[in-house]
Amino acid sequence: MATTKAPDAGRRSDRSRRAIHDAALALVTEQGYRRTTIEGIAARAGVGKQTIYRWWPSKAAVLMDAFLDLAGRTAEDAGGAPQPDGAASSGGSAPGFPDTGDLAADLKTVLRATVDELNNPVLEAVTRALTAEGIVDAKLGAEFVQQLLDPQLALYVTRLRAAQEAGHVRAEVDPRIALELLIGPLMHRWLLRTLPLTHAYADEVVDCAIGGLTPRA
Amino acid sequence: MATTKAPDAGRRSDRSRRAIHDAALALVTEQGYRRTTIEGIAARAGVGKQTIYRWWPSKAAVLMDAFLDLAGRTAEDAGGAPQPDGAASSGGSAPGFPDTGDLAADLKTVLRATVDELNNPVLEAVTRALTAEGIVDAKLGAEFVQQLLDPQLALYVTRLRAAQEAGHVRAEVDPRIALELLIGPLMHRWLLRTLPLTHAYADEVVDCAIGGLTPRA
Amino acid sequence: MATTKAPDAGRRSDRSRRAIHDAALALVTEQGYRRTTIEGIAARAGVGKQTIYRWWPSKAAVLMDAFLDLAGRTAEDAGGAPQPDGAASSGGSAPGFPDTGDLAADLKTVLRATVDELNNPVLEAVTRALTAEGIVDAKLGAEFVQQLLDPQLALYVTRLRAAQEAGHVRAEVDPRIALELLIGPLMHRWLLRTLPLTHAYADEVVDCAIGGLTPRA
Amino acid sequence: MATTKAPDAGRRSDRSRRAIHDAALALVTEQGYRRTTIEGIAARAGVGKQTIYRWWPSKAAVLMDAFLDLAGRTAEDAGGAPQPDGAASSGGSAPGFPDTGDLAADLKTVLRATVDELNNPVLEAVTRALTAEGIVDAKLGAEFVQQLLDPQLALYVTRLRAAQEAGHVRAEVDPRIALELLIGPLMHRWLLRTLPLTHAYADEVVDCAIGGLTPRA
DNA sequence: AGATAAGCGAGACGGTACGTCCGGTCTTTCC
DNA sequence: GGAAAGACCGGACGTACCGTCTCGCTTATCT
């Protein structure tokens, strides 16, 4: 009958929640994800272990929450007004998606911002950790994608669809695939560290993707 | 100068090495990377723990060796004659890279094969584990890229350069970026599991990348 | 000043403590001290290893505690009422020290009891182990002597001093030495297993010690 | 048929044997018995582990051999001429047993020498180790007693029997017990470290043992 | 207001795995 | 065939964390 287990979220201590978030982010940044332990987070946050286990199922979940919280706060600071959750970008960079009419320029603007985010040393450790965890743990990966990635990617899709309607993108191109053509190379380079991730690279990717590989008539 | 501690590779037991490889692969496939332990590998391989610690610095290193060995053996079986290391593909799929003169068709052939590899349930667990580990651990990631990924990608670069010389690819396109335009989307989808990875998807990516997003004159 | 690490004895689980005692005694009796391992004790007691390491610094310390506990409980059972720690004899044999007025007879009574204790197969393994450990490890030996031996020997000293006051023992004899004259030979024979330890031997030792080696006028 | 196991003692390397002895004694003296390992002895002696296992069944056996060897060499140095094995005293102290006619004086001389030996810091570690091991391991203890202790004690028995024949010791006293009356207290004090072991103590023990506890007519 | 109960800091607990050390055996290469 | 060298299997060591479980203590609501 009764769930006998669910804690009462109303009584939850906000102070502890924040302290745990901060501790988690700090430790992951300082020591890396592997070396960060739940005991360590609890100790650093001045919190009982049980308080973590009560509200989160895993270290990764704590970190993801902390990351979302951080993103939200950063966005809030940047945007002046708090944004609804869904609109929060992963690093808080883009309050929207530019539409100057010049698709290539707009994409370059956004991809350059993404490059900057991925090169941000503070966020890097956490993002890498969560991505890696999601790669191995499907359930966590789904949450990661849904909560952090999809909202961001949806903006691309919107912009691309607009470009398509304006005739700047071929009708038979699936916007979802177009998006991956742009994001995929960046992520590939960032995740595997094959080569450095620069603004120039972002520009080249946009140009290539837009212009295609083969020569034009 | 001398390393003072290095074990004598000449005396190394081949039987143990193979047993450890097999056990590692089996356990990762059966239970996942997280749940696989060095003790478990040792037990399954009928080997003392120290024999693992003597030759490998970490669980990931064991697995990577095992994976390389597997790839090598698979390639050997497939190719009849053993190939030099560099030519071994990650899953042993491609002994070379087709060049029928039709770039789009050739790329589709290869990307479809890559899709099949990535969907291979046996290899999936191991590849995901190694990739994820490499994302978090730069040193391991570098080895992973160097030993497994680069050889494979080099084939793409060769083929693309050939196409470029034949005038099928624009001269100003960097083959390395062209390659990432093709591989990046696949990896993105596979790693993040956003959408299923199919032959149709591979074809679409090739078409998009080759044709570009914008309409042709 | 604070020890910064000391566990909270108030929260200590009595159930675990007893289980560990029992397991330690059982294993030492069954397999000998050498073959008894901390892991084995933990497993047998159904306890985590850390619970042992938290409260004891070494295998020997566990065993000594277990032995003291056993002695205490045995004495309690025997004596009806629990005795203060100091009065607990090593095996719980002697609730006090007889004083019939006949010193030789009293000493024989007590030494015979000691012989019986030393021949008790249950206690033997543990006592030997602790003694041997104490011989090599001065710190442990001091604890062993202080907690187990001294209380017992103090009884001898008391009895001998009484005899001295009654004129049954020469005034110039140091009771401590007299005591060692009686106990030393027993221990020597028991520890080194040179010859069997019997009641007859105890009697002879008492007679010799009391009468001296040289003929009386 | 053939024992398939027994190594050919004729081919044995004397150099290794000595090196092992020296290493064993040095390590036990420096680090204590517990911390001394067979691997350590082998390394220190510049010898393969197998060379130790080939000739000795255990660490204790190595040490005992080393100790006997040391005692032999010491005695040889002291006595000018090498003595047969049986006559070697444990520490090489007594080439014989004095017989000045004054039993008490002779015993004090010998017991004082024993006290000195037991206080010798070089021998102490080894002797304690062997004694302790013998207390726990009956087989080893028997060897220890037979090879090291008995020859020494036999001298006491001889001297006491002579005294008995001369009428200086009561006829009904068993020399073996008389001996233990003298040695037992010393060993007791030394093994258990209850009180310091001095010449004065040796004297007192002799006086007490000879004179007895009770007042003389 | 007093009772009830939940969250909380703390940390002991039964466990699992870590990475190291050593015991004893086996194998290889030299002498 | 003994000896130096050292890899091997096994297994205990002592440590670090896991996730669960009590403890009192502090709130915070509900009679």
Question: Is D215 touching C (CB cutoff 8 A)?
Answer: yes
| Closest to D177 measured CA to CA, from C119, C195, C173 | C195
Best mutation target among D150, D205, D214 (most C Cβ atoms within 10 Å) is D214
- Domains of chain D are 94-211 (1.10.357.10)
Task: Dig out the tokens for D51 from the structure.
Answer: 């060379």
Question: Smallest Cα–C1' distance to nucleotide F21: which residue has it?
Answer: A50
Q: Which DSSP state fits C91?
A: S
A residues 124-183 near B, CB within 8 Å? 128-129, 131-138, 141-142, 144-145, 149-150, 167-170, 173-174, 176-178, 180-181, 183
Measured between alpha carbons, how far is residue C206 from residues B138, C163, D163, D184, D216 in Å? 79, 14, 21, 13, 16
Q: Nearest CB to A170: which of B133, B170, B215? A: B215
Best mutation target among A111, A130, A214 (most B Cβ atoms within 10 Å) is A214
* Strand F contact nucleotides, protein CB < 7 Å: 1-23, 28-29
Highest mean pLDDT among A39-43, A134-138, C86-90: A39-43
d(CA C211, CA C205): 10
Q: Which DSSP state fits A149?
A: I
Give CA angle at A67 (A62, A69), nearest 5°.
95
D163: left (phi over 0), alpha (psi -120 to 50) or beta: alpha
The reply to whether B35 Cβ lies less than 7 angstroms from strand F is: no
Helix residue spans in D56-174 (DSSP H): 59-79, 103-119, 121-136, 138-144, 150-165
The SS3 call for residue A2 is coil
| Closest to B138 measured CA to CA, from B43, B21, B60 | B60
CB pairs under 8 A between C and D: 176
Which residue's entry shows tokens 């993040």? B192
Q: Which residues are within 8 A (CB) of B154 and not within 5 positions of it... i.e. 6 or more apart? A: B86
Q: What is the mean pLDDT of residues A117-142?
A: 91
* Strand E contact nucleotides, protein CB < 7 Å: 6-28
Within 8 A of A138 by CB-CB distance, chain B residues are 193
pLDDT tens-digit map of C140-177: 899 999 988 898 899 899 999 999 999 999 988 999 99
Nearest chain A CA: its distance from B81 CA (Å): 31
Instruction: Write down the pLDDT at residue A82.
Output: 47
Chains B and A touch (3+ CB pairs under 8 A): yes
Q: A162 with A99: CB under 8 angstroms?
A: yes
Secondary structure (DSSP) of B185-208: HHHHHHHHTSS---HHHHHHHHHH
d(CA C213, CA D14): 48
Measured between alpha carbons, how far is residue B157 from residues A166, B177, B210, C100 in Å? 35, 9, 15, 106
Q: What is the mean pLDDT of residues C183-199?
A: 96
* Amino acid making up residue A104: A
d(CA C73, CA C89): 11
Closest residue in A to B190 (Cα) is A135
Closest residue in C to D175 (Cα) is C213
| Closest to C160 measured CA to CA, from C177, C136, C146 | C177
Contacts 24+ apart (CB under 8 A), C28-31: C28/C63, C28/C125, C28/C126, C28/C129, C29/C122, C29/C125, C29/C126
Window 11-40 of chain A: CB closer than 7 A to strand E:
11-13, 15-17, 19
**Number of other CB atoms surrounding residue B94 within 10 Å:** 20
Task: Dig out the tokens for C167 from the structure.
Answer: 């004129």
Task: Dig out the tokens for B78 from the structure.
Answer: 């497939």
The SS3 call for residue A198 is coil
Instruction: Write down the pLDDT at residue D5.
Output: 57
d(CA C78, CA B63): 63
Tell me: pLDDT of C87 over 70: no
Which residue's entry shows tokens 């024992």? D3
The reply to whether D8 Cβ lies less than 7 angstroms from strand F is: yes
d(CA C103, CA C209): 12
Q: Which residues are within 8 A (CB) of D210 and not within 5 positions of it... i.e. 6 or more apart? A: C212, C213, C214, D103, D104, D107
CA-only gyration radius of chain A, Å: 20
Task: Dig out the tokens for A53 from the structure.
Answer: 């286990």
Q: A108 with A159: CB under 8 angstroms?
A: no
- The rounded mean pLDDT for chain C is 87
| Closest to A183 measured CA to CA, from A134, A123, A130, A115 | A115
Q: Nearest CB to B132: which of A135, A142, A178? A: A135
Least confident of A102-106, C154-158, D97-101: D97-101
D210 membership: H or E segment, kind and range = helix D199-211
Window 49-68 of chain A: CB closer than 7 A to strand E:
49-51, 54-55
Least confident of A23-37, C64-78, D27-41: C64-78
Question: Smallest Cα–C1' distance to nucleotide E15: which residue has it?
Answer: C48
- Predicted confidence pLDDT, tens digits, chain B (217 residues): 444 578 899 899 999 999 999 999 999 999 999 999 999 999 999 999 999 999 999 999 999 999 999 888 776 666 555 444 444 444 444 457 889 989 999 999 999 999 999 998 888 889 999 999 999 989 899 999 998 889 889 999 999 999 999 999 999 999 999 999 999 999 999 999 999 999 999 999 999 999 998 887 6
* Amino acid making up residue B215: P
Largest CA distance in chain D: 71
Measured between alpha carbons, how far is residue D179 from residues D7, D28, D45, D198 in Å? 41, 30, 40, 19
B119: left (phi over 0), alpha (psi -120 to 50) or beta: alpha
d(CA C164, CA C150): 20
Partner-chain contact A213 B173, CB within 8 Å: yes
d(CA B174, CA A208): 9
d(CA C118, CA B89): 74
Q: Nearest CB to D132: which of C132, C169, C205? A: C132
The SS3 call for residue D4 is coil
Tell me: pLDDT of A45 over 80: yes
